[in-house]
Amino acid sequence: MTLWVGLTGGIGSGKSTVAARFASHGVPVLDADAIAHNLTAANGAALPAIRAHWGDAVFAATGQLNRAALRQRVFADATQKQQLESLLHPLIFDAIQAAQQHTALPHGYGVVEIPLLTEIPRFRQLVQRILVLDVAEPLQIERVKQRSQLSDAAVATIMAQQASRQQRLAIADDVLTNHGDLSALHTAVDQLHQYYTALSQP
Ligand code: ATP
């Protein structure tokens, strides 16, 4: 059977590190954030609808989206934020689905990294299994701060906007606990690679 594994987890949980390890085995890895970004890049499929709704004020003279201007409009306005999301999410869904259809699966399975898989239930239709990266919050905060120089308060704000650890675990088929060092994480991914390869065989 065709198997797409949805990889998700909170900020700094190790998604990119895990995705890179799957990719090192030759497993195709799609990145929902990158796909979403493309939709609003030059000539992106979301631009006409964004212009129709927010007008020229959120575009540069060159025709490129002025992300800062759009962010400013939706940042403090829940209704506008929701409007932008309902415009983007179906396009992201379709773009991921199209990418899946065009991707060969040499090991029988592929991975889609979808940070918001818990927050946006409809995206779960794109995958047959969900792999959740789980990290205790103090360690998660420490790793995010090490990487990005964010303050405790800034990290706490981001984490408060995301699903909780419990909510993520509730949708998991498989849980990878990222409490060890990088070599332990790689070993765990290597084992999952064997598992998903076996699972996807007819
Ligand atoms: P984001 O949601 O912000 O994109 P992410 O979930 O993709 O983050 P990574 O970028 O893979 O997470 O990891 C966050 C940071 O933590 C990186 O600097 C990474 O090297 C480090 N890290 C991840 N796992 C471990 C580990 N087991 N041991 C040590 N450092 C780790």
| Domain edges within the chain | 3-28+103-199, 39-93
Q: CB neighbours (10 Å) of residue 65?
A: 20
Smallest CA separation from ligand 1 atom 24, residue:
14
The mean pLDDT of the chain is 95
Q: What is the pTM of this model?
A: 0.94
Q: Is 164 annotated as a binding residue?
A: no
Q: Are the beta carbons of 117 and 26 closer than 8 angstroms?
A: no
- R_g of the chain, CA atoms, integer Å: 18
The residue ranking higher by pLDDT, 74 or 202, is 74
- For residue 109, pLDDT beyond 90: yes
CATH, domain range 3-28+103-199: 3.40.50.300
Instruction: Kindly give the number of the ligand 1 atom that is closest to the alpha carbon of 11.
Output: 2
pLDDT tens per residue, range 144-182: 999 888 888 999 999 998 999 999 999 999 999 999 999
